[in-house]
């Protein structure tokens, strides 16, 4: 088991990529704190983990609220004594992404990452180290889809990852981020409603000829969270089926 008895908080773990990370980490022996603003989704993730013999609890914390983020960390410490791993995964709703809602995108994805990390770092310092994995996006690396507020928030997550990694290396706190390409989660449902073929239309852009599955990102998060990544910090781990490597359809 690669995370035996590690205490891991995953934000936005009620569905999609966060849920897959929570389930993956629990299978590797972590005690998982499932955070979400949706109680039904969060408790469902916990049930799946417990039914498989793993350990998890649900805490409802809106990561965009610094007080709630602090409470998420302090409640975890009260229950489990410490925090070893934090995965900052939560994002605002698809509607807010599509409507370029700057307040929602920046406050959840970017400031939420900062709030939770700032609350967890003193605990990790006392503990002699820890691992933070931030879920950014290819949209933080290249221009796509005109969703400027989301892209700027994710670019900010990449910069924040590097800045915090440099500041906390000597605390033995490793801080890395993942840039996923398209991953089939419920986040795509409103787009599929508008255009049922959208995911099929996206596939040709991917050198690997498919879009991602949540477990593809969960496996990368597992590596970064685990001791196997002991020399990785400030890294930007692109897991995108080759999307940002280039485009083989470019005419010649």
Ligand X SMILES: NC(=O)c1ccc[n+]([C@@H]2O[C@H](COP(=O)([O-])OP(=O)(O)OC[C@H]3O[C@@H](n4cnc5c(N)ncnc54)[C@H](O)[C@@H]3O)[C@@H](O)[C@H]2O)c1
Q: For binding to ligand X (CB under 6 A), which residues are involved?
A: 11-12, 14-18, 35-38, 41, 62-64, 89-92, 108-109, 112, 135, 137, 180, 182-183, 185-187
Q: Judge contact between 211 and 184, C-beta under 8 A.
A: yes
Q: Judge contact between 81 and 4, C-beta under 8 A.
A: no
Of residues 202 and 232, the one with the C-beta less far from ligand X:
202
Of residues 58 and 80, the one with the C-beta less far from ligand X:
58
As measured in angstroms, the least distance from the Cβ of 100 to ligand X is 14
Of residues 49 and 109, the one with the C-beta less far from ligand X:
109
Among residues 142, 166, 139, which one has the least CA distance to residue 151? 139
As measured in angstroms, the least distance from the Cβ of 252 to ligand X is 30
Of residues 218 and 229, the one with the C-beta less far from ligand X:
218
Q: Judge contact between 199 and 182, C-beta under 8 A.
A: yes
Structure tokens of 18? 């966060």
Bridge partners, residue 32, by sequence:
8, 56
As measured in angstroms, the least distance from the Cβ of 50 to ligand X is 18
Using Cβ positions, the residue closest to ligand X within the complex turns out to be 16
Kindly give, in sequence order, each residue whose CB lies less than 8 Å from that of residue 196, ignoring residues fewer than 6 positions away.
Answer: none
The answer to whether residue 80 is catalytic is: no
As measured in angstroms, the least distance from the Cβ of 164 to ligand X is 17
Using CA atoms, how far apart are residues 38 and 62, in angstroms rounded to an integer? 9
Of residues 60 and 127, the one with the C-beta less far from ligand X:
60
C-alpha angle 178-126-114 in degrees, rounded to nearest 5: 35
As measured in angstroms, the least distance from the Cβ of 172 to ligand X is 26
SS3 content of the chain, % helix, strand, coil (to 5): 55, 15, 30
Annotated catalytic residue, options 150, 164, 180, 238: 150
Using CA atoms, how far apart are residues 2 and 17, in angstroms rounded to an integer? 19
Quickly count: other Cβ atoms within 10 Å of residue 81's Cβ: 10
Q: Which residues are catalytic?
A: 150
């Amino acid at each position: 088991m690669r995370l035996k008895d590690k205490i891991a908080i995953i934000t936005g773990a009620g569905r999609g990529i966060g849920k897959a990370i929570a389930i993956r980490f629990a299978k590797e022996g972590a005690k998982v704190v499932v955070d979400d603003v949706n109680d039904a989704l969060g408790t469902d993730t916990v049930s799946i983990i417990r039914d498989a013999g793993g350990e998890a609890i649900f805490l409802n914390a809106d990561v965009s609220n610094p007080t709630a983020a602090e409470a998420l960390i302090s409640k975890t410490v009260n229950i489990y004594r410490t925090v070893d791993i934090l995965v900052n995964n939560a994002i605002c709703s698809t509607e807010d992404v599509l409507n370029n809602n700057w307040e929602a995108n920046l406050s959840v994805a970017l400031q939420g990452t900062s709030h939770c990390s700032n609350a967890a770092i003193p605990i990790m310092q006392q503990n002699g180290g820890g691992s933070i994995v931030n879920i950014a996006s290819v949209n933080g690396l290249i221009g796509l889809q005109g969703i400027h507020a989301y892209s700027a928030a994710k670019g900010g997550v990449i910069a924040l990852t590097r800045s915090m990694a440099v500041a906390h290396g000597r605390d033995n706190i490793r801080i890395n981020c993942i840039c996923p390409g398209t991953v089939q989660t419920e986040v795509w449902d409103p787009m599929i409603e508008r255009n049922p073929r959208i995911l099929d239309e996206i596939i040709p852009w991917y050198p690997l000829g498919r879009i991602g599955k949540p477990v593809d990102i969960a496996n990368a998060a597992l590596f970064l969270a685990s001791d196997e990544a002991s020399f990785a910090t400030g890294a930007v781990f692109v897991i995108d089926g080759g999307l940002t490597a280039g485009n083989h359809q470019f005419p010649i």
